[in-house]
Amino acid sequence: MIVIGSARMLADVRNLVKCYQLRGNIHYIEGKGHVLSDGHQSLPLDYSAYDTVVYDLDVYSFETILRLLETTPGHTLRLATSSTRTGVLITEDAVYERCVL
């Protein structure tokens, strides 16, 4: 899972990963739309090592997110989203709500 967003969103997702004991290859990248305008495509990553990309909805618009996913060369990533306003991580498989450790 590639997670891209603000420092606060990354902290929220780290908390959810720990709380719900999510496993797998997870790469956290602090970035905002004006800095990482090409999102995950800005990064020298092997996309085949990841199945999902999580975008911060407070930073990236749905239009931008969908454009980036459509133009990812050679690999299909699933979309997940999170927002610091809700503290919720929404993936293809589940909705993870804010929790207290």
CA separation for the pair 8, 28 (Å, rounded): 12
pLDDT in tens, 71-98: 777 667 888 999 999 999 999 999 999 8
Instruction: Check residue 32 and give its pLDDT.
Output: 65
What pLDDT does residue 67 have? Answer: 86
If you write DSSP's letter for every residue of 17-84 in order, what string do you get? HHHTT--S--EEEE--TTTSTTGGGGS---GGG-SEEEEETTTS-HHHHHHHHHT-TT-PPEEEEEET
* Domain ranges, ordered by start, for the chain: 2-96
Q: Which pLDDT score is estimated for 2?
A: 92
How confident is the model over 33-43, as a mean pLDDT?
Answer: 67
CATH tag for 2-96 (out of 3.30.1400, 3.40.50, 1.10.10, 2.40.128) = 3.40.50
Tens of pLDDT, residue by residue over 8-34, are 999 999 999 999 999 989 999 988 655
